[in-house]
Amino acid sequence: MKFSREIELRGHIVDSGILAKVMDCVVEYNGDFETEEFNLGRQKTDPSYARMQISAETPEQLTQIISELRRLGVLVTGEAEVTLQNVIKAKVAPEGFYSTTNHPTYIHYEGEWIPVDNMKMDALIRVDTKSHTATCAVQGKLLPGDFVVVGEEGVRVDFPERPREIGVFEFMGGDVSSERPSKTMIRQIAKELLQIKESGRKVALVGGPAIIHTGAADAVAAMIREGYIDVLFAGNALATHDLEYSIFGTSLGMDLRTGELVSGGHRHHLYTINKIMDAGSIYAAVQTGLVKSGIMYECIKNHVPFVLAGSIRDDGPMPDVIQNVIEAQDAMRKHIPELGMVLMVATLLHSVAVGNLLPSHVKTICVDINPASVTKLMDRGTSQAIGMVSDAGTFMPLLLAELRELSA
């Protein structure tokens, strides 16, 4: 193999499996490696170190391999600076632009390694050449004149080492199972949530309408009132069903206290939307006393912000729903930097959307009755995710009970 380049790796690279991933990657893309130096941490707390020569048959192949390795947190010896290119046309990135991971990322620019703000997956790195700062930006927001990183040279990623301390995110991390002790897990999730709150970071709930249908609305409303949830991401359906429950006591016409369909109940759904439309907003409906309980009520009373994102399934939609999906993403994005944990309950659409915006350090809990939804959410690159195949209607009341017990 004629073309080669030296890389370095530091940290818990063996037990975190990063060294294995690096070797795999080289082999997969038909390259070769030669270990020039290797020190295995003598004790479990010691970091290890590896220096390797990566080689390939052609320069293109070498570039490819090195590009993949960079995403694993490898340091390339003699790393050049990032290449920047100008955006010519709004929303069109220069050819060969760097597409991001959701891990902490640094660029080598004018002699320094500067961090990239607001990391999310599948975006670009926009560099402010004056202030020497870099931000993660989505394609649709690019404007002519923006400087964007092109190629992989000069970009370094901190691939998350698997945490050592044993917590629920560690022992469960990446695992989806319906065969776990449910109450034990709920208790551990409650503990983590309280720790996040104590550390000053915020907890978001991403919720689907099944929260209301399965009778979990009272528990969620209490969680908001008692300060366990700081932001709500949902859609027209959750809000409508919650307000229907508040105004009529039903959800899609079913009396949630008896489980029976109510005469004329099929109209409640549309009548609710109409009443809110008439009030002008959910806020107004709470102020005028039309709405006196429920998830949306507690959000407004307790100043918990919410983003209701529109979807093509929507009836109405209600005045608070953001009909333009890109504007809805923007509205959600504002709340991301302060989050430490996201509970994703019974909605694949909104959970994937929020997951797309999250940096990898935010802990996520995915709860859905459908194992395929849980798996899909867990596959999206969050290193600290727990999946539970469970029923919102039994999960949320039990979570509330644990939170109260642990807080008492």
Q: Which of 205, 286, 339, 353 binds a copy of itself (CB under 8 A)?
A: 353
Q: Does 171 bind a copy of itself (CB under 8 A)?
A: yes
The whole-angstrom separation of Cα 291 and Cα 296 is 9
Give the nearer residue to a copy of itself in terms of CB position, either 111 or 312. 312
The CB-of-200 to a copy of itself minimum distance in angstroms stands at 27
Q: Contacts with a copy of itself in 221-240 (CB under 8 A)?
A: none
The CB-of-156 to a copy of itself minimum distance in angstroms stands at 17
Give the nearer residue to a copy of itself in terms of CB position, either 1 or 75. 1
DSSP H/E element including 6: strand 3-11
Q: Apex CA 31: angle with CA 27 and CA 37, to 5°? A: 85
- Residues 191-210, one symbol each (x = binds a copy of itself by CB under 8 A, - = not), give -------------------x
Q: Does 258 bind a copy of itself (CB under 8 A)?
A: yes
Q: Does 323 bind a copy of itself (CB under 8 A)?
A: yes
Residue 22 and residue 69 in contact, taking contact as beta carbons nearer than 8 Å? yes
* Joined tokens for residue 176: 């989806």
Q: Does 33 bind a copy of itself (CB under 8 A)?
A: yes
Q: Contacts with a copy of itself in 94-153 (CB under 8 A)?
A: 97, 99, 122, 138-140
Of 163, 17, 156, the C-alpha closest to 76 is 156
Q: Does 352 bind a copy of itself (CB under 8 A)?
A: yes
The CB-of-333 to a copy of itself minimum distance in angstroms stands at 11
The whole-angstrom separation of Cα 190 and Cα 341 is 11
Give the nearer residue to a copy of itself in terms of CB position, either 254 or 291. 254
For 344-362, give one letter per residue: b (16+ CB within 10 A) or e: bbbbbebbebbbbbbbbbb
Q: Which of 4, 85, 302, 311 binds a copy of itself (CB under 8 A)?
A: 311
The whole-angstrom separation of Cα 383 and Cα 370 is 21
Q: Does 313 bind a copy of itself (CB under 8 A)?
A: yes
Q: Does 86 bind a copy of itself (CB under 8 A)?
A: no
Give the nearer residue to a copy of itself in terms of CB position, either 42 or 303. 42
How many residues of this chain bind a copy of itself (CB under 8 A)? 114
Of 264, 268, 232, 267, the C-alpha closest to 343 is 232
Q: How many CB atoms lie within 10 A of CB 190?
A: 22
Q: Does 49 bind a copy of itself (CB under 8 A)?
A: no
The CB-of-397 to a copy of itself minimum distance in angstroms stands at 6
The whole-angstrom separation of Cα 57 and Cα 25 is 15
Q: Which of 58, 77, 274, 288 binds a copy of itself (CB under 8 A)?
A: 274
Give the nearer residue to a copy of itself in terms of CB position, either 58 or 301. 58
Binding segment (CB under 8 A) for a copy of itself, from list 37-45, 109-117, 129-137, 337-345: 37-45
Radius of gyration of the chain, Cα coordinates, nearest whole angstrom: 24
* Joined tokens for residue 83: 């290449």
The whole-angstrom separation of Cα 238 and Cα 350 is 11
Of 339, 365, 344, the C-alpha closest to 190 is 365
Give the nearer residue to a copy of itself in terms of CB position, either 230 or 368. 368
Residue 261 and residue 251 in contact, taking contact as beta carbons nearer than 8 Å? no
Q: Contacts with a copy of itself in 369-398 (CB under 8 A)?
A: 369-372, 375, 389-395, 397-398
Give the nearer residue to a copy of itself in terms of CB position, either 301 or 323. 323
- Residues 3-22, one symbol each (x = binds a copy of itself by CB under 8 A, - = not), give -----------xxxx-xx--
The CB-of-378 to a copy of itself minimum distance in angstroms stands at 12
Q: Which of 27, 80, 143, 406 binds a copy of itself (CB under 8 A)?
A: 27
Residue 283 and residue 300 in contact, taking contact as beta carbons nearer than 8 Å? yes
The whole-angstrom separation of Cα 53 and Cα 74 is 12
Q: How many CB atoms lie within 10 A of CB 89?
A: 9
Q: Which of 57, 260, 338, 405 binds a copy of itself (CB under 8 A)?
A: 260
187 CA to centre of own chain: 22
The whole-angstrom separation of Cα 349 and Cα 236 is 12
Of the chain, the end-to-end C-alpha distance in Å amounts to 65
Give the nearer residue to a copy of itself in terms of CB position, either 134 or 273. 273
The CB-of-198 to a copy of itself minimum distance in angstroms stands at 21
